[in-house]
Amino acid sequence: MKSGEKLAWGLVLLVTILHFDLWNWDSTDVVFGFMPVGLAWQAGISLAAAAVWALMMRIGWPGEVEQWAAQPSGLNSETGEERQ
């Protein structure tokens, strides 16, 4: 795994942990005058997830996968058997 991909996966893990916002559980506070704070936090999680995946595409994209896919197949796709 490339170091960029490791960093991005670390951020995915961080966002996942932050998703469990126990501190907002019983709060009736609102943000922006109308949004329950728990909902606003989770909306932020969605934004953060998009940002992290954008970063992943930039620094962790597995470019070599296209070359792997272009190699000749040794299988018959209909039967799954090895070609002779």
Provide the strand spans (E) within the chain: 30-31, 35-36
Tell whether residue 75 is a contact of another protein (CB under 8 A): yes
Determine the Cα–Cα distance for residues 59 and 53; give it in Å rounded to an integer. Answer: 10
Give the shortest CB-72-to-another protein separation in angstroms. 8
Confirm if 83 and 74 have CB atoms less than 8 A apart.
yes
Confirm if 55 and 47 have CB atoms less than 8 A apart.
no
Give the shortest CB-11-to-another protein separation in angstroms. 11
Tell whether residue 11 is a contact of another protein (CB under 8 A): no
Q: Which residues pair with 61 in a beta bridge?
A: none
Question: What does the per-residue mask of binding to another protein show for 24-63, with x meaning CB under 8 A?
Answer: xxxxx-x--xxxx-xx-xxx-xxx-xx--xx-xx---xx-
Closest of 8, 13, 6, 5 to residue 51, by C-alpha: 8
The footprint of another protein (CB under 8 A) covers 12, 15-16, 19-22, 24-28, 30, 33-36, 38-39, 41-43, 45-47, 49-50, 53-54, 56-57, 61-62, 64-66, 68-75, 77-82
